[in-house]
């Protein structure tokens, strides 16, 4: 067993109980885990401030001085201990509310101390509550270090596992590790990128010699993390290309008939380009694994249908899997329109389809008479057996992981179906490279002609009268309007109340107007009924929670009003806005907020007002929120990077992907001596399962 696999229990000062706590709270099991538990920030102990320089705006300061006096103030229940620290330039109070006895024993007058803490001001006096205080020694006198600060939990602190304790553990474990740390990057890369070695990087990430060394350590470790992820993804892709034959679909006769007789509009240039890419994959003899990205309304559905026709032309079947029931239904409704015209059988299979209705679906799939199956996760069930699945389309909306995707393409025993992954919203390049780094990427970067860009404005709640006036003129011109309220999971009741209040005030403002209401707590039939009324134009205003985010297409609706817009994420706002602008008329999106806006909310709203470009919006969103939040919790696992940050390290990611490509192009099996360390590292990462297992 290697040093790094040793259980933390055996580290000096840990023992079984603390090891169990570290496991539970921080997921740290082994020495290796601990070493990879990197600081999330560093406190600047590189200099001592003079007391006269200190003010309450400073985050943390380090000072040295003598304690001139110590006094206990207040009665039994509100006691505090105050010590007065002074140097040649002034005096500052150090205050303790807890652990008073212990401090009284430790802190002695007229001795030199090093003090570290966050200054604040009470009236005319500066003070530091619960500072760190230590005797001045020759070593601390020299100062000059950046102190690591580690992620911790409240529970750990309560059990005296605090930052100091972790620092001690890190010092010990690193001391022991030094002779075991192997270089993990090939010399060529180290040289090209002027990276420091692994050993130096690990030491300096915990105990940086200087800011400069810290940056070097971070750069090196971030690169390494990204490099191995990319290496693995590209390797997966190469293996698949090598091993998995795809069915050859070269017969375009059915497609040609569709083009001649039923294509409802001319394809955009972007759609044509993507169709060509898909066609060339599907006839190549290799299995297609392609990601199709395009903004809301860019026309991905028709591209999906065209791909399906290619499969059916080759006498195979096609499946489309969507993440939610509503989305599956919508896809079904859309594709059925085309399929019916072409006399192609199509069915919907979701969790709510009854057993009796499933049976014929299963049968017709197995005998090959059912050509297209649309559904949710239900498609992955054992009983769902195709005669010959030629194409699997997966509409991801960021919900499925690589593992789930691959389940669908294992539906055939002897060959793999072609796979087309569609995403409902554009994904920033860095994320796409990581989440879908094993796929080819197609982008529809153009909207169908004749669409008028949606006009977006920001209005404060105080302008509601004007907004209502605008709604009125739009409805008089024959349009329809959405009014959307936020939905927070913590309090469905409160949300419902906001929605109902909003509904009432709109009813009051438009007394004669037929108005629909839609929210998550309604029965499906009631929802469908309201949705249908609105779609037919019987109601003019739709008041709803975000349930309308997906699955609604009413071309006559031209106004989207988002209430409490500051509470929505950027991509969600963009999705909502995509509900309008589907018809020929000029559409509008109005973002309502009150006056209190955080700077992040301001950026979000300004971004929405400035641009309709989903890719630009996604990039901004990534920078604001970081990848985990952006993709929702369900898939953030794959993005749980130890040190790299996809929002900030885009450049490094490109370099890492490039380096991985170069190496694998040269030496696909990593058999060269100078690449042996890479292979070893892949093995050891697999074993310790740091973030690999979550990716694969």
Residues that bind ligand ADP (CB under 6 A): 265-268, 271, 294, 296-302, 448, 582
Cα separation, 616 vs 503, in Å, equals: 34
Site of tokens 């554009």: 426
Strands 112-117 and 61-73: antiparallel
Closest approach, Cβ 395 to ligand ADP, in A, equals 9
Instruction: Supply 168's token pair.
Output: 């001690």
Closest approach, Cβ 295 to ligand ADP, in A, equals 7
Closest approach, Cβ 118 to ligand ADP, in A, equals 50
For 51-69, letters b (16+ CB in 10 Å) and e give beebeeeeebbbbbbebee
The residue among 122, 132, 32 whose CA lies nearest residue 73 is: 122
Closest approach, Cβ 303 to ligand ADP, in A, equals 8
Q: Which is nearer to ligand ADP, 393 or 663 (CB)?
A: 393
Contact residues for 450 (Cβ-Cβ < 8 A; gap 6+): 584
The residue among 1, 3, 44, 2 whose CA lies nearest residue 174 is: 3
Cα separation, 505 vs 499, in Å, equals: 10
Contact at 8 Å (CB) between 127 and 147?
no
* CA Rg value for the chain: 31
Closest approach, Cβ 599 to ligand ADP, in A, equals 31
Q: Which is nearer to ligand ADP, 301 or 636 (CB)?
A: 301
Q: Which is nearer to ligand ADP, 301 or 611 (CB)?
A: 301
Contact at 8 Å (CB) between 485 and 502?
yes
Q: Which is nearer to ligand ADP, 39 or 294 (CB)?
A: 294
Closest approach, Cβ 320 to ligand ADP, in A, equals 12
Q: Which is nearer to ligand ADP, 14 or 444 (CB)?
A: 444
Site of tokens 């009236």: 123
Contact residues for 142 (Cβ-Cβ < 8 A; gap 6+): none
Q: Which is nearer to ligand ADP, 275 or 622 (CB)?
A: 275
Q: Which is nearer to ligand ADP, 295 or 530 (CB)?
A: 295
Closest approach, Cβ 375 to ligand ADP, in A, equals 17
Instruction: Supply 18's token pair.
Output: 């603390």
Closest approach, Cβ 269 to ligand ADP, in A, equals 9
Closest approach, Cβ 327 to ligand ADP, in A, equals 10
Q: Which is nearer to ligand ADP, 298 or 430 (CB)?
A: 298
Cα separation, 548 vs 125, in Å, equals: 56
Cα separation, 127 vs 51, in Å, equals: 11
Listed in sequence order, the DSSP H helices in 314-456 are: 325-341, 355-367, 402-408, 429-435
Listed in sequence order, the DSSP H helices in 244-369 are: 253-261, 269-282, 300-313, 325-341, 355-367
Closest approach, Cβ 571 to ligand ADP, in A, equals 13
378 exposed, middle or buried (CB, 10 Å; 0-12, 13-18, 19+)?
buried
Closest approach, Cβ 276 to ligand ADP, in A, equals 15
The residue among 274, 254, 276 whose CA lies nearest residue 263 is: 254
Q: Which is nearer to ligand ADP, 432 or 670 (CB)?
A: 432
Cα separation, 555 vs 479, in Å, equals: 9
Q: Which is nearer to ligand ADP, 395 or 495 (CB)?
A: 395
Site of tokens 């972790």: 166
Cα separation, 324 vs 302, in Å, equals: 20
Cα separation, 612 vs 391, in Å, equals: 32
Closest approach, Cβ 262 to ligand ADP, in A, equals 12
Q: Which is nearer to ligand ADP, 63 or 608 (CB)?
A: 608
Q: Which is nearer to ligand ADP, 299 or 390 (CB)?
A: 299
Contact at 8 Å (CB) between 115 and 48?
no
Q: Which is nearer to ligand ADP, 14 or 270 (CB)?
A: 270
Task: Count CA atoms within 13 Å of residue 248 on its CB side.
Answer: 3
Q: Which is nearer to ligand ADP, 338 or 470 (CB)?
A: 338
Cα separation, 315 vs 242, in Å, equals: 25
Contact residues for 582 (Cβ-Cβ < 8 A; gap 6+): 297, 553, 554, 555, 557
Instruction: Supply 619's token pair.
Output: 């990039």
Residue number closest to ligand ADP, CB atom:
299
Q: Which is nearer to ligand ADP, 117 or 304 (CB)?
A: 304
Cα separation, 134 vs 217, in Å, equals: 29
Cα separation, 574 vs 611, in Å, equals: 10
Closest approach, Cβ 296 to ligand ADP, in A, equals 5
Cα separation, 176 vs 189, in Å, equals: 27
What is the DSSP-derived secondary structure letter of residue 120? E
Q: Which is nearer to ligand ADP, 294 or 314 (CB)?
A: 294
């Amino acid at each position: 067993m290697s040093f790094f696999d040793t259980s933390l229990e055996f580290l000096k000062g840990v023992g079984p109980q603390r090891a169990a706590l570290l496991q539970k709270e921080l997921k740290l099991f082994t020495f290796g885990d601990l070493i990879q538990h990197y600081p999330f920030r560093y406190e600047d102990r590189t200099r001592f401030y003079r007391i006269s320089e200190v003010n309450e705006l400073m985050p943390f300061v380090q000072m040295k001085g003598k304690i001139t006096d110590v006094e206990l103030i207040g009665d039994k229940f509100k006691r505090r201990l105050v010590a007065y620290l002074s140097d040649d330039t002034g005096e500052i109070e150090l205050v303790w509310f807890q652990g008073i006895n212990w401090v009284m024993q430790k802190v002695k007058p007229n001795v030199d101390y090093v003090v570290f803490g966050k200054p604040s001001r009470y009236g005319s006096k500066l003070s530091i509550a619960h500072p760190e205080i230590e005797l001045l020694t020759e070593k601390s006198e020299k100062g000059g270090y950046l102190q690591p600060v580690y992620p911790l939990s409240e529970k750990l602190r309560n059990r005296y596992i605090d930052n100091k304790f972790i620092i001690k553990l890190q010092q010990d474990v690193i001391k022991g590790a030094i002779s075991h740390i192997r270089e993990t990057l090939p010399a060529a890369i180290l040289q090209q990128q002027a990276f420091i070695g692994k050993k130096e990087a690990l030491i300096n990430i915990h105990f940086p010699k200087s800011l400069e060394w810290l940056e070097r350590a971070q750069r090196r470790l971030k690169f390494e993390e990204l490099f191995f992820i990319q290496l693995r993804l590209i390797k997966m892709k190469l293996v698949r290309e090598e091993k998995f034959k795809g069915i050859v679909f070269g017969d375009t006769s059915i497609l040609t008939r569709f083009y001649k007789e039923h294509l409802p509009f001319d394809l955009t240039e972007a759609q044509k380009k993507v169709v060509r890419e898909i066609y060339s994959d599907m006839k190549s003899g290799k299995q297609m694994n392609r990601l199709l990205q395009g903004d809301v309304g860019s026309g991905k559905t028709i591209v999906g249908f065209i791909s399906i026709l290619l499969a059916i032309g080759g006498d195979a079947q096609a499946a489309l899997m969507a993440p939610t029931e509503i989305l599956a239904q919508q896809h079904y409704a859309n594709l059925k329109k085309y399929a019916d015209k072409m006399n192609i059988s199509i069915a919907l299979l979701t969790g709510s389809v009854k057993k009796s209705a499933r049976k014929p679906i299963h049968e017709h799939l197995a005998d090959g008479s059912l050509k297209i199956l649309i559904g949710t996760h239900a498609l992955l069930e054992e009983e769902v057996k195709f005669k010959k699945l030629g194409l699997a389309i997966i509409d991801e909306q960021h919900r499925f992981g690589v593992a789930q995707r691959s389940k669908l393409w294992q539906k055939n025993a002897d060959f793999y179906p072609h796979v087309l992954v569609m995403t409902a919203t554009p994904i920033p390049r860095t994320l796409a490279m990581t989440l879908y780094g094993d796929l080819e990427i197609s982008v529809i970067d153009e909207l169908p002609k004749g669409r008028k860009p949606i006009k977006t404005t920001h209005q404060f709640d105080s302008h509601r009268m004007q907004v209502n006036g605008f709604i009125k003129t739009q409805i008089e011109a024959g349009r329809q309007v959405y009014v959307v309220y936020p939905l927070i999971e913590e309090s469905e009741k409160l949300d419902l109340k906001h929605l109902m209040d909003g509904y009432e005030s709109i009813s009051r403002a438009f007394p004669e107007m037929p108005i629909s209401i839609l929210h998550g707590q309604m029965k499906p039939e009631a929802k469908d009924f309201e949705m249908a009324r609105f779609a037919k134009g019987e109601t003019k205003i739709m008041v709803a929670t975000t349930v309308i985010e997906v699955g609604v297409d009413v071309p006559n609706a031209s106004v989207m009003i988002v209430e409490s817009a500051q509470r929505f994420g950027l991509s969600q706002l963009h999705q909502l806005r995509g509900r309008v602008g589907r018809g020929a008329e000029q559409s509008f999106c109005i973002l309502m907020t009150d006056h209190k806006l955080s700077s992040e909310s301001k950026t979000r709203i300004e971004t929405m007002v400035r641009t309709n470009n989903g890719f630009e919006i996604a990039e901004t969103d990534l920078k604001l929120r970081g990848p985990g939040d952006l993709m929702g919790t369900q898939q953030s696992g794959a993005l749980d990077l130890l040190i790299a940050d996809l929002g900030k390290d885009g450049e490094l990611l490109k370099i890492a992907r490039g380096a991985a490509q170069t190496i694998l192009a040269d030496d696909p099996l990593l058999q060269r001596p100078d690449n042996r360390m890479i292979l070893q590292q892949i093995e050891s990462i697999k074993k310790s399962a740091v973030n690999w297992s979550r990716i694969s």
